[in-house]
Structure 1
Amino acid sequence: LWLGWLQPLLKQRSHWQAELPRLQAQAAALAPLLRAREQQQQAQGRRPTLAGLRQQITAAGLAGSLHIETRDGRWHLQVRSVPADALWNWLLPLLADPAIELQQLQLQRTGDANMPAARISGNIVMAAQGGGHP
């Protein structure tokens, strides 16, 4: 009885007592990665909206310098003397979203060329992928 039934059960119990903490540590290490991946998939499933774009503009502190309107299902942004670093910090991650298509970008440096911080003015036209109105 000992060799055939109880000893294998005790060996299995000892094995899982040693293995369980390692598996729990791996699960704890992978949990944040899984949550980040789920959030990324949810974000990709969401279609960009004009309201969301306005929130991003406001959060970036550009609400006073960027004017946005919707025409023909596209977003038309008019940029007026925005600090270059602030514009790029907002625009580049936005354009990395595969759901947003950049259709036109006309920007130029404005102000004094000797200014240490460049300012940018111009127009940006974007559209949400998938058709319809953004």
Structure 2
Amino acid sequence: DEAVLRRLGKRIFVNLPDTPGRLSIIRNLLGKHQHALKGPEMQELAQKTEGYSGSDLMQLCKDASMGPIRELGIRIKDTPLSSVRPIQYRDFIASLHEIRPSTSSANLVKLTRWNETYGSSRI
């Protein structure tokens, strides 16, 4: 809608994070949780999540963090927190089947074209 576009002071397109950006987001999100992921596993996750937004990565990390709890099931009631296993790479692999990117490549093409037409080159 042209009227809406006129009311927007700045039109800024923020692209999806690249592999180093996704790695940084994953590290940041996992930083406050007990996990057993090693550097190469995190790097592989960053590569497997091409097309994921920051929000998608947050949902992925939340879902993966539930893996140890799902595994315990009803036993969680009687399990001390210190006995819950850390988040593992396999939790992320399982979550990748459930949490998909929210932006399609077709939509990214549209947004890139929109940015070329309407986007601001300066912030």
Structure 1-normalised TM-score?
A: 0.30
Higher strand share: 1
- Of the two, which has the highest radius of gyration? 1
Higher helix share: 2
Between 1 and 2, higher relative CO (CA 8 Å, sep ≥ 6) is seen in 2
